Amino acid sequence: MLPQEIIRRKRDGHKLAADEIAAFVAGLTAGTISEGQIGAFAMAVFLNGMSREEAVALTIAMRDSGDVLDWSDLPGPVTDKHSTGGVGDNVSLMLAPIVAACGAYVPMISGRGLGHTGGTLDKMDAIPGYASQPDVALFRKTVLETGCAIIGQTANLAPADRRLYAIRDVTGTVESIPLITASILSKKLAAGLGSLVLDVKVGNGAFMEKSRDAVALANSLVEVANGAGLNAFALVTGMNEPLASAAGNAVEVKNAVDFLTGRFRDKRLEEVTLALAAEMLQSAGLVSSQQDGLRRATEALAGGRAAAVFARMVAVLGGPVDFIEKPEDYLPAAPVELAVKAEQAGFVTGIATRDIGLAVVTLGGGRSRPDDKIDHAVGLTRLLPVGAELRSGEALALVHARTDAEAEAAAAAVRAAYTIGSSKPPAEKAVLRRILPR
């Protein structure tokens, strides 16, 4: 099949057959289709959309462009979660060990930061010695021995997605819901999962700022996943403020350890983490209801079993064996700390969350270009949540930076991102909606 004919049919609004889509993805993977043709195809999809059947065919073809892992030898169900990204979203670090402590296996293949959002893989790289991109043998050993492993995508998992995404990124087609869906799900299907829970963020710190867009994406992900044979559910969760009180890499790891050990837990972060854990346990068939899943997850967290799983995972993947007991001895720390002082008294009535994420990027904790090197030590902590009351001169947050000048610039950005009013705003729910297969 000529790629230009496939492009023309999609350009003209026709529904593509599964074999046409498979042929195009095969050419994309083999390098026989040019970047111009891939860009034209992506734009045709962006403008005309795809049916559920087309999106399923695209997802399966991209899954089959590389290796597909097989976990059939494990003595329990295999499940995972994917988040569409936010600020202070370190949920994966607690969620994987909580669910593993309840009897599931979680081979969590995560990504790096994108734009203003942090990446789970960048956070794990803050732990000295931790092999965030192990070979398949070590990956399998870690999952078998500890119940979970948080790692990066291997070279042979859904390679078609890497080429297509790189071209979407420079052709203005990133926001296409069918292409987002296929990109996310092809990697998850290649990971050999039995079930999946999607965390679709909505708000001023999410890629989907409007509720209707987030719900459309969540429905697409759930429908296409189930159409491709993967049992999937989704939660739509709020991102109108940072989820954790920390934003950065090492600082979010420390926040996660504090959460697991019970030293400190952000309220909204706990609500989202436990809700996702309950969904994962139910989708994996380990519990019969959300309520039972929530109880099991809460017990695994409160009893210390989740913290023990995290500690074992870090050690098996090359990190310090006593990391969870004294993370501050191992995590990199920035030399400059600066409190961001509020200029008036009142209540926090709003946070420009995307600007908080961009402040971390500017400090060096994120990337402006794909090849930028991450500074794992920098970031923000003690971020006040919406609804917090404060006096003039009290701290809105604490900046961790390399230089005084960078700290001052970040402090100014954080101060500008906070809105202070005279009355306390109504609390927003952290978990907004549950999306089930139709």
Could you say which of 80, 161, 199, 266 is catalytic?
A: 80
State yes or no: is 381 an active-site residue.
no
Could you say which of 10, 63, 82, 162 is catalytic?
A: 82
State whether residue 257 is helix, strand or coil.
Answer: helix
Contact 196, 232 (CB under 8 A): yes
State yes or no: is 326 an active-site residue.
no
Q: How do the domains of the chain map onto residue ranges?
A: 3-49, 79-157+168-326, 332-421
Residue 236's φ and ψ, nearest 5 degrees, are: -95, 120
Whether the per-residue pLDDT at 154 is higher than 80: the answer is no
State yes or no: is 187 an active-site residue.
yes
Q: What pLDDT shows up at residue 370?
A: 62
Whether the per-residue pLDDT at 348 is higher than 90: the answer is yes
Q: Across the chain, what does the average pLDDT equal?
A: 94
Residue pLDDT, tens place only, 155-209? 688 899 888 988 887 788 878 999 999 999 999 999 999 999 999 999 999 988 9
Could you say which of 29, 84, 120, 195 is catalytic?
A: 120
Contact 97, 313 (CB under 8 A): yes
Q: Is the pTM here over 0.75, yes or no?
A: yes
Residue 419, Cβ neighbours under 10 Å: how many? 14
Task: List the single range of 107-111, 225-229, 362-366 with lowest mean pLDDT.
Answer: 107-111
Average pLDDT over residues 265-284: 97
Contact 207, 84 (CB under 8 A): yes
State yes or no: is 65 an active-site residue.
no
User: What's the rounded Cα separation, in Å, for the pair 21 and 44?
Assistant: 13
Share above pLDDT 70 across residues of the chain, in percent, rounded to a whole number: 97
Could you say which of 112, 188, 305, 312 is catalytic?
A: 188
State yes or no: is 373 an active-site residue.
no
Whether the per-residue pLDDT at 291 is higher than 80: the answer is yes
The string of DSSP codes covering 83-110 is E---SS--HHHHHHHHHHHTT-BEEEEE
Average pLDDT over residues 88-92: 95
Residue 122's φ and ψ, nearest 5 degrees, are: -65, -35
Say which residue, 248 or 171, is predicted with more confidence.
248
Residue pLDDT, tens place only, 370-389? 667 889 999 999 999 999 99
CATH fold of 3-49 reads 1.20.970
- CATH for 332-421 is 3.90.1170.30
What is the SS3 assignment for 134-157?
CCHHHHHHHHHHHCEEEEECCCCC
User: What's the rounded Cα separation, in Å, for the pair 192 and 178?
Assistant: 21
State both tokens at 294: 């929530």
Residue pLDDT, tens place only, 384-403? 999 999 999 999 999 999 99
Could you say which of 123, 140, 162, 168 is catalytic?
A: 168
Whether the per-residue pLDDT at 239 is higher than 90: the answer is yes
Residue pLDDT, tens place only, 37-81? 999 999 999 999 999 999 999 999 999 999 999 999 999 999 999
Per DSSP, what are the bridge partners of residue 431? Answer: 237
Residue 331's φ and ψ, nearest 5 degrees, are: -75, 140
Cα atoms in the 13 Å half-sphere on the side-chain side of 335: 5
The string of DSSP codes covering 321-369 is TTTTT-GGGTS---SEEEEEE-SS-EEEEEE-HHHHHHHHIIIIIS-SS
User: What's the rounded Cα separation, in Å, for the pair 42 and 165?
Assistant: 10
Residue pLDDT, tens place only, 210-237? 999 999 999 999 999 999 999 999 999 9
Could you say which of 10, 140, 187, 296 is catalytic?
A: 187
Q: Which residue has the tokens 């790189």?
A: 166
Residue pLDDT, tens place only, 292-341? 999 999 999 999 999 999 999 999 999 999 999 999 999 999 999 999 99
State yes or no: is 267 an active-site residue.
no
Q: Which residue has the tokens 């070979």?
A: 135
Whether the per-residue pLDDT at 272 is higher than 90: the answer is yes
Contact 368, 380 (CB under 8 A): no
Q: Which residue has the tokens 């404060």?
A: 390
Could you say which of 10, 63, 81, 116 is catalytic?
A: 81
Share above pLDDT 90 across residues of the chain, in percent, rounded to a whole number: 86
Cα atoms in the 13 Å half-sphere on the side-chain side of 277: 31
Could you say which of 29, 110, 146, 183 is catalytic?
A: 183
State yes or no: is 80 an active-site residue.
yes
Average pLDDT over residues 26-30: 95
State yes or no: is 132 an active-site residue.
no
CA nearest 280: which of 348, 159, 344, 188?
A: 188
Give the DSSP letter of residue 408: H
Task: Tell which CATH classification among 3.40.1030.10, 3.30.1300.30, 3.40.640.10, 3.30.70.2190 matches the domain 79-157+168-326.
Answer: 3.40.1030.10
State yes or no: is 120 an active-site residue.
yes
Could you say which of 29, 59, 65, 83 is catalytic?
A: 83
